[in-house]
A and B are shown apart, each in its own frame.
Chain A
Amino acid sequence: MSNELNYIVKRAAKGLMSRREFMGRASALGVSAMMANALLASAVRAEEPKKGGLLRAGMAGGESTNTLDPALAASEVPFLVNMTWGEMLVDVTPAGEIDYRLAEEVSSNSDATEWKFKIRQGVEYHNGKTVTAEDVIATLKRHTDEKAQSGALGIVQGISEMSASGDMVTLKLASGNADLPFLMGDYHLIIQPDGGVANPAEGIGAGPYKIVENEPGVRHAFERHANYWDQSIAHADQVEVLVINDNTARTAALQAGQVHMINRVDPKIVELLKGVPGVSVEAVAGRGHYVFIMHCDKAPFDNNDLRMALKLSINRQEMVDKILGGLGSVGNDFPINAAYPLFDSSIPQREYDPAKAAEHYKASGHDGSPIVLRTAPGAFPGAVEAAQLFQQSAAAAGIPLEVKVEPDDGYWSDVWNVQPFCASYWGGRPVQDQMYSTAYLSTADWNDTKFKNAEFDELLLKARAELDATKRKEEYSKMANILRDEGGLICPMFNDFVEAKREEVGGWAQDPNGELMNGRALVKCWLNA
């Protein structure tokens, strides 16, 4: 079937094209009406979920050091694995809305300081126990404990009081937070029986699949949880995650049909892979971004003219084209893009302007000695090349950059958050508030640009408790502008998740929240035999 015919059949089957338009375009491609009807009928059938089978993902980002403890999940494989056996109170949909999972209903008081979550009744864990409000409290409490080393500590710290009565969980916050339901969709906050206190890495949850084999860094095998509450997902009988860290082997496994989907397709081979029959490449715009960060409190970066000069002397489009192979979008020196709810798209895009950069550089009074930019191959994929491109575009503005390549070993302990100017990356967060609170609030642990701005902090706290979306959007827009014009963040690009799947996989959807449909690809997709 020609590519174009294939494309219109798919669009028509998804209801994105009317039947009349489809028939017209199909006949323009020389397809008879009978043939076109048959094609459409089979395509529509393919869009209906099919039950059964063994669905397999081949994943990079797993090591034999991984654990099933949701608090410690950080890399790609534990994320996908946990999202396959675990269930949180809520999920965030691709459109940025709340998808109610273990919580059936959420409500708050007027200043967003007290939240009530109604827990879905009769939901069963893999071990036969029932999900209760007490389990939810125990889970959240465990993540508050410093010893749990939870990645969600920053989220649960803001909860000052939690209580359960009947099927209702009440959370009181120290200060209002309108985003709390979104934060409860954080992938660390999987609800475990008794909070998983006794054995957090047991892998018992209320998710659609239960773990039958767990060999970290090699393979995680699941079978469907027979009593799963939501009949509309979990189509395959069994699902499996194979850890294949080598790029070539992962791609070969997909081509050979040994796995049905893979993550992290190397941008260099995307064009080649597109030509392979039976395989499609999916680039999903997400919230992750690659950055260069300056410490606003250390010379010479304590001078806003110098910071502005550097921001103006980076060629963003060139970075997207050469570093991301076109699979991404340009950044605008604040960590938010259109993938976030309440994003203000009217903020003007900063462009490469060597003349203006030179002006700011002159105004900064910098002595002309080379400015050291530290980078490492592991800072982000292509970080060394990106630093070199930056060096050249800055040289055109008369700004001397010296690229210093550091070893990957110890980069996150000895360079990042220590040296005043270096390359780094951020994975993005479900909502703006969380991103800003994690890294741009004056008092944040990970304030890696040492950005301290009272007005910004005040706006952040105000927006957090604001339930009126219009006002909130305005406040976020102001914050974005402050950060863009005064912050220490140079954000040249947002990277897409680049993934690939086989054509027999049905139910695939783009999800900006996270890799592989926010970790639910194995749960929501099915196999068209």
Chain B
Amino acid sequence: MHPILKLVVQRIALGLLLLLAVSVLIYAGTEALPGDVAQAILGQSATPEALANLRESLGLNQPGYIRYFHWLGGVLTGDFGKALTNGQDIGQAIAQRLGNTLFLAGCAAAISVPLAIGLGLVAARYNGRWPDKVISGITLSTISLPEFVAAYFVIYLLTQVFPIFQPVAMVFPGMSFWAKLNAVALPVIVLVLVVLAHMMRMTRAAILNVMQSAYIETAELKGLSPMRVIWKHALPNAVAPIISVVVLNLAYLVVGVVVVEVVFSYNALGQYLVDHVAKRDLPVVQAVGLIFAAVYIGLNILADVLAIVANPRLRHPK
């Protein structure tokens, strides 16, 4: 078996094991929460009889470990069950929401990744001169701004002062692709502002690191233009750390943007999760938690594998 293939299989197996451990943690964690779902659903209107009725009908009277295996069995066969609060099929609801999450993350990534790497290259090329300082200054200030402040700022600027976009970014089936792009414009801008600096700084640092090497000097002495030196000689050798930072940011774009979703009323997974946490709708919380964990683990495996593939010494072992 090719060593890379073997490595990939190994990583995936480890990832699955990790996911199983995470599922136990998620289940135990949600079980340990104070109050139960029956109380959270009924709220102020809970009478003892109504509580007992609801607990019975939700099956909350069985011991926890039995419910865990029931649940795990369901998940493995693709059945996440029904939401306790409104009886909707969780799998279906998640599929649609996950689609929206990936759409937003995809749009943000499509803009931020090339932009960050491009800016990183330019900053490295003009290291210590004004373009470097301007790029670093701007991206560092946008990353320092909390997401919700950035969000309110773009809402104010782009819907009130210059009414170009709409503040509520909901998307729904039946919208055309362009209408969807228009709807998510504001959250995408905010997310780009937030993730840009991290990737840009890493690109710059990785390139500068390589620029000290002897072969770069050779390339320069050959008379190549600085941009060509960076593009052809420095970047391929600096790509491993850049990939891992890019992938980490992608993971963040998928699982960590609930604040942005809420501010723009964007109907994606984060908001769905938060709503159901508030109502103690455990099957949904567990399902979404598991999906977030899977995305995170999956992207990390991807980062590892890509870093290895990008490294010729690991690609062609002696």
Residue positions of A touching B, CB distance < 8 A? 58, 63-67, 74, 146-147, 149, 151, 201, 213, 215-219, 242-246, 248-249, 252-253, 255-256, 258-259, 409-410, 412-414, 416, 424, 445-446
Q: Which residues of A contact B225 (CB under 8 A)?
A: none
Digitize B20-58: 1 where CB-to-A-CB distance is under 8 Å, 0 elsewhere. 000000000000001100010011111101100110010
Query: Mind listing 30 A-B residue pairs with CB under 8 Å?
Result: A63-B279, A64-B271, A64-B272, A64-B275, A65-B86, A65-B275, A65-B279, A65-B281, A67-B87, A146-B53, A147-B57, A149-B54, A201-B86, A213-B172, A216-B88, A217-B271, A217-B275, A218-B170, A218-B267, A242-B265, A243-B265, A246-B263, A252-B167, A253-B166, A256-B160, A256-B163, A256-B166, A413-B39, A414-B35, A416-B44
B50 touches A146 (CB 8 A): yes
Digitize B288-318: 1 where CB-to-A-CB distance is under 8 Å, 0 elsewhere. 0000000000000000000000000000000
A409 touches B34 (CB 8 A): yes
Given that A65-B85, A149-B53 are contacting pairs, would A256 and B262 also be in contact in the complex, using a CB cutoff of 8 Å?
no
Interface residue from A67, A201, A242 paired with B168 (Cβ < 8 Å): A242
B43 touches A74 (CB 8 A): yes
Interface: B152 (CB within 8 A): yes
A248 touches B275 (CB 8 A): no
Given that A64-B93, A253-B167 are contacting pairs, would A410 and B34 also be in contact in the complex, using a CB cutoff of 8 Å?
yes
B35 touches A249 (CB 8 A): no
Closest to B159 in A: A256
Q: Give the distance in Å from the alpha carbon of A201 to the alpha carbon of B160 in the complex.
A: 39
Q: Which residues of B contact A217 (CB under 8 A)?
A: 267, 271-272, 275
A67 touches B85 (CB 8 A): yes
Given that A151-B45, A413-B35 are contacting pairs, would A252 and B262 also be in contact in the complex, using a CB cutoff of 8 Å?
no
Q: Which residues of A contact B49 (CB under 8 A)?
A: 146
Q: Which residues of B contact A256 (CB under 8 A)?
A: 159-160, 163, 166-167
B35 touches A409 (CB 8 A): yes
Q: Give the distance in Å from the alpha carbon of A242 to the alpha carbon of B267 in the complex.
A: 11
Q: Which residues of A contact B93 (CB under 8 A)?
A: 64
Interface: B14 (CB within 8 A): no
Q: Give the distance in Å from the alpha carbon of A512 to the alpha carbon of B176 in the complex.
A: 41
Q: Which residues of B contact A248 (CB under 8 A)?
A: 152, 155, 263
A246 touches B262 (CB 8 A): yes
Interface residue from B34, B86, B168, B278 paired with A244 (Cβ < 8 Å): B168
Q: Give the distance in Å from the alpha carbon of A218 to the alpha carbon of B42 in the complex.
A: 22
Q: Give the distance in Å from the alpha carbon of A151 to the alpha carbon of B47 in the complex.
A: 12
Closest to A408 in B: B278
Closest to A407 in B: B34
A255 to chain B, nearest CB (A): 6
Q: Give the distance in Å from the alpha carbon of A248 to the alpha carbon of B53 in the complex.
A: 39
Interface: B276 (CB within 8 A): yes
Q: Give the distance in Å from the alpha carbon of A249 to the alpha carbon of B172 in the complex.
A: 18
B45 touches A446 (CB 8 A): yes
**Nearest 10 pairs between A and B by C-beta?**
A65-B85, A67-B86, A252-B167, A218-B267, A63-B275, A413-B39, A410-B35, A64-B275, A445-B47, A244-B265
Closest to B100 in A: A218
Interface: B80 (CB within 8 A): no
Interface: B72 (CB within 8 A): no
Q: Give the distance in Å from the alpha carbon of A66 to the alpha carbon of B279 in the complex.
A: 10
A241 to chain B, nearest CB (A): 11
Interface: B107 (CB within 8 A): no
Q: Which residues of B contact A446 (CB under 8 A)?
A: 44-45, 47
Most buried by B among A74, A249, A424, A445: A249
B158 to chain A, nearest CB (A): 10
Interface: B219 (CB within 8 A): no
Q: Which residues of B contact A445 (CB under 8 A)?
A: 47
B149 to chain A, nearest CB (A): 11
Q: Which residues of A contact B160 (CB under 8 A)?
A: 252, 255-256
Digitize B71-92: 1 where CB-to-A-CB distance is under 8 Å, 0 elsewhere. 0000000000001011110000
Residue positions of B touching A, CB distance < 8 A? 34-35, 39, 42-47, 49-50, 53-54, 57, 83, 85-88, 93, 152, 155-156, 159-160, 163, 166-168, 170, 172, 262-265, 267, 271-272, 275-276, 278-279, 281
Q: Which residues of A contact B85 (CB under 8 A)?
A: 65, 67
Q: Give the distance in Å from the alpha carbon of A201 to the alpha carbon of B86 in the complex.
A: 9
B98 to chain A, nearest CB (A): 13
Q: Give the distance in Å from the alpha carbon of A293 to the alpha carbon of B88 in the complex.
A: 37
Q: Which residues of A contact B159 (CB under 8 A)?
A: 252, 255-256
Closest to B160 in A: A255
Closest to B169 in A: A249
B204 to chain A, nearest CB (A): 35
Given that A217-B275, A410-B35, A413-B35 are contacting pairs, would A242 and B170 also be in contact in the complex, using a CB cutoff of 8 Å?
yes
Closest to B264 in A: A249
Given that A146-B53, A242-B170, A410-B35 are contacting pairs, would A65 and B276 also be in contact in the complex, using a CB cutoff of 8 Å?
yes
Q: Which residues of B contact A253 (CB under 8 A)?
A: 166-168
Query: Contacts A67-B86, A201-B86 given; 19 further ones with Cβ under 8 A?
Result: A65-B279, A74-B43, A146-B50, A149-B42, A151-B45, A216-B88, A217-B271, A217-B272, A242-B265, A246-B265, A248-B155, A252-B155, A252-B156, A252-B159, A252-B167, A255-B160, A409-B34, A410-B35, A424-B44
B46 to chain A, nearest CB (A): 6
Closest to A218 in B: B267
Closest to B266 in A: A218
B168 touches A65 (CB 8 A): no
Most buried by B among A58, A146, A147, A413: A413
Q: Which residues of B contact A58 (CB under 8 A)?
A: 168
Given that A217-B271, A414-B35 are contacting pairs, would A149 and B50 also be in contact in the complex, using a CB cutoff of 8 Å?
yes
Q: Give the distance in Å from the alpha carbon of A379 to the alpha carbon of B148 in the complex.
A: 25
Q: Which residues of B contact A63 (CB under 8 A)?
A: 275, 278-279
Closest to A252 in B: B167
B185 to chain A, nearest CB (A): 13
Q: Give the distance in Å from the alpha carbon of A36 to the alpha carbon of B275 in the complex.
A: 52
Closest to B262 in A: A246
Q: Which residues of B contact A219 (CB under 8 A)?
A: 170, 172, 267
Q: Which residues of B contact A413 (CB under 8 A)?
A: 35, 39, 46
Closest to B38 in A: A413
Interface residue from A64, A249, A259, A416 paired with B276 (Cβ < 8 Å): A64
Q: Give the distance in Å from the alpha carbon of A219 to the alpha carbon of B86 in the complex.
A: 15
Q: Which residues of B contact A409 (CB under 8 A)?
A: 34-35
A197 to chain B, nearest CB (A): 15
Q: Give the distance in Å from the alpha carbon of A446 to the alpha carbon of B45 in the complex.
A: 8
A323 to chain B, nearest CB (A): 20
B169 to chain A, nearest CB (A): 9
A258 touches B275 (CB 8 A): no
Closest to A445 in B: B47
Closest to B268 in A: A218
A147 touches B271 (CB 8 A): no
Interface residue from B42, B163, B168 paired with A249 (Cβ < 8 Å): B168
Closest to B52 in A: A146
A491 to chain B, nearest CB (A): 17
Q: Give the distance in Å from the alpha carbon of A159 to the alpha carbon of B39 in the complex.
A: 28
Most buried by A among B45, B160, B168: B168
B183 to chain A, nearest CB (A): 10
Q: Give the distance in Å from the alpha carbon of A371 to the alpha carbon of B155 in the complex.
A: 46
Q: Give the distance in Å from the alpha carbon of A391 to the alpha carbon of B43 in the complex.
A: 27
Q: Which residues of B contact A258 (CB under 8 A)?
A: 166-168
Q: Which residues of A contact B166 (CB under 8 A)?
A: 253, 256, 258
Q: Give the distance in Å from the alpha carbon of A218 to the alpha carbon of B270 in the complex.
A: 13
B82 to chain A, nearest CB (A): 11
Q: Give the distance in Å from the alpha carbon of A252 to the alpha carbon of B281 in the complex.
A: 31
A249 touches B265 (CB 8 A): yes
